[in-house]
Amino acid sequence: MKGSLELKQTWRHTAILALALVMMMLMLGACGSRSAGEDAAADSRLYKDGLGREVAIPVQPQRVVVLEFIGDLLTLGVQPVGVPQYDVGTFQTQLNGATGIGQDGDYEKIASLNPDLIIVPDYAKPEAVEAYAKIAPTVAVAWNATILEQLHAVADILGKTAEEKAWLERYTKKGQEVKEQLADSLKQGETLAVLQVSQKSIYAYAPRLFANLYQVLGFQISSKMKELVDNNASFAVQSLSFEALPEYAADRLFIIVSDNDEARNVMKQMESSDVWKSLAAVKQGHVYFLSDRWANYSAATLDWQLDEMKKLFATQP
């Protein structure tokens, strides 16, 4: 009887010890899960994007795929892991190992890059945004904003507002220096128009898209352009016929000719016409032919343009 009682007590103590060990393991497991959840929450934050959505994004994203705004990322010191194919050439010397994701953002290519954040323009198709969001947190940035507003949005998303502020200070100082250097080459009150020949079409750009020319150097817009801006403050680009070209003419003409045969042929036809030869800017030798890079809408291009303007106006006053 005594041996049986001792055996029962031994089994009882063993069972209690085992139960205690199981409960301790469960508690440790729960604590571990809670810590992981808390860490995940601490590493992300809610961001209200250009589409009005609240998206949980990484506090410090490390692998960013971007479908626009490449120049803004580079300005902030961020190297994207994936970029649209058409921008690879534009920023080839500045990109470090970025992969082309096709013209419109191939889902499989993007997924293969294992991004922790995807940035798209707000004009992206809803179904595309939804598909990207299945790969990684996806935020939209307003496209119809000024470049500086656009840069601020990207800086906010990436947690790079200090870098944004430092760049703005450098850019403002550089712009003032360029303006002073070109003071003798430019006349106060001169008008300027920016046109683009793309494939078989001709476009006139709104002044807000070329802040360096109108806000930094102080060029004025033509009466026709003023009419368009007054009617629609968010106006960006106006398609025009060849016959309407004199309406958009100005003291100086910036002509962006796209890099394709159709655009070059249209430009040749324009230059051989009487309409073209009658323009005051043509007669005065104040026509500047520019590359597609001028039409890239980013902070990196703003900085690049300041250097290019010094070359243009110094050699062709």
pLDDT of residue 10: 46
Whether residue 130 is found in the same domain as residue 30: no
Amino acid at 16: I
* Residue 153: pLDDT over 90: yes
% of residues, the chain, pLDDT over 90: 69
Distances, alpha carbon 30 to alpha carbons 33, 34, 36, 38, 315, in Å: 5, 6, 10, 12, 72
Whether residue 94 is contained in a domain is answered as yes
Full domain range(s) for residue 243 = 185-315
C-alpha 65/C-alpha 112 separation (Å) is 11
Higher-confidence residue of 26 and 128: namely 128
Per-residue pLDDT, averaged over 269-273, amounts to 91
Whether residue 172 is contained in a domain is answered as no
Whether residue 173 is contained in a domain is answered as no
Helix-helix angle 147-158:299-315, to 10 degrees: 140
C-alpha 120/C-alpha 124 separation (Å) is 7
At 275-286, the pLDDT tens digits run: 999 999 999 999
Whether residue 177 is contained in a domain is answered as no
Whether residue 174 is contained in a domain is answered as no
Whether residue 87 is found in the same domain as residue 66: yes
Distances, alpha carbon 159 to alpha carbons 137, 179, 256, 305, in Å: 15, 32, 34, 26
Whether residue 190 is found in the same domain as residue 244: yes
Whether residue 175 is contained in a domain is answered as no
**Do residues 122 and 104 touch, judged by C-beta distance below 8 A?**
no
pLDDT of residue 17: 46
| Helices (H) then strands (E): counts for the chain | 14, 12
% of residues, the chain, pLDDT over 70: 86
The closest alpha carbon to 209, from 258, 147, 157, 129, belongs to: 147
C-alpha 6/C-alpha 249 separation (Å) is 108
* Residue 265: pLDDT over 80: yes
Per-residue pLDDT, averaged over 129-135, amounts to 97
Whether residue 216 is found in the same domain as residue 198: yes
DSSP string covering 168-232: HHHHHHHHHHHHHHTTTTS-TT-BEEEEEEETTEEEEE-GGG-HIIIIIS-PBPPHHHHHHHHH-
C-alpha 295/C-alpha 71 separation (Å) is 12
pLDDT of residue 199: 82
Phi, psi of 141 (to 5 degrees): -115, 135
Whether residue 238 is found in the same domain as residue 308: yes
Whether residue 58 is found in the same domain as residue 84: yes
Whether residue 168 is contained in a domain is answered as no
Whether residue 18 is found in the same domain as residue 61: no
Residue 8: which pLDDT band, with cuts at 50, 70 and 90? Answer: very low
- ∠ CA 261-266-271, nearest 5°, is 125
Residue 24: which pLDDT band, with cuts at 50, 70 and 90? Answer: low
pLDDT of residue 90: 87
Residue 317: which pLDDT band, with cuts at 50, 70 and 90? Answer: low
Residue 48: which pLDDT band, with cuts at 50, 70 and 90? Answer: very high
**Chosen domain end from 159, 193, 215:** 159
**Do residues 81 and 103 touch, judged by C-beta distance below 8 A?**
no
Residue 7: which pLDDT band, with cuts at 50, 70 and 90? Answer: very low
- 162-166 CB contacts, 8 Å cutoff, 24+ apart: 163/75, 163/76, 163/77, 164/76
Whether residue 54 is found in the same domain as residue 129: yes
* Residue 4: pLDDT over 60: no
* Residue 37: pLDDT over 90: no
Query: Residue 149 corresponds to which tokens in the numbers above?
Result: 């507003």
At 210-258, the pLDDT tens digits run: 999 999 999 999 989 999 999 998 889 999 988 899 999 899 999 999 8
Are β-strands 64-66 and 117-121 bridged in parallel, bridged antiparallel, or unpaired?
parallel
Number of domains in the chain: 3
Whether residue 53 is found in the same domain as residue 29: no
Residue 41: which pLDDT band, with cuts at 50, 70 and 90? Answer: low
Q: Which residues pair with 239 in a beta bridge?
A: 203
Whether residue 51 is found in the same domain as residue 141: yes
Whether residue 38 is contained in a domain is answered as yes
**Chosen domain end from 89, 124, 159:** 159
Amino acid at 84: P
200: domain CATH number is 3.40.50.1980
Helices (H), 76-184: 85-88, 107-112, 126-133, 147-158, 161-181
Whether residue 53 is found in the same domain as residue 130: yes
At 157-189, the pLDDT tens digits run: 999 999 999 999 999 999 999 999 999 989 999
pTM reported for the whole predicted model:
0.82
Whether residue 137 is found in the same domain as residue 233: no
Q: Which residues pair with 193 in a beta bridge?
A: 253
pLDDT of residue 20: 47
Query: Residue 211 corresponds to which tokens in the numbers above?
Result: 């802040």
| Other C-beta atoms lying within 10 Å of the C-beta of residue 106 | 15
Q: Report the mean per-residue pLDDT for the chain.
A: 87
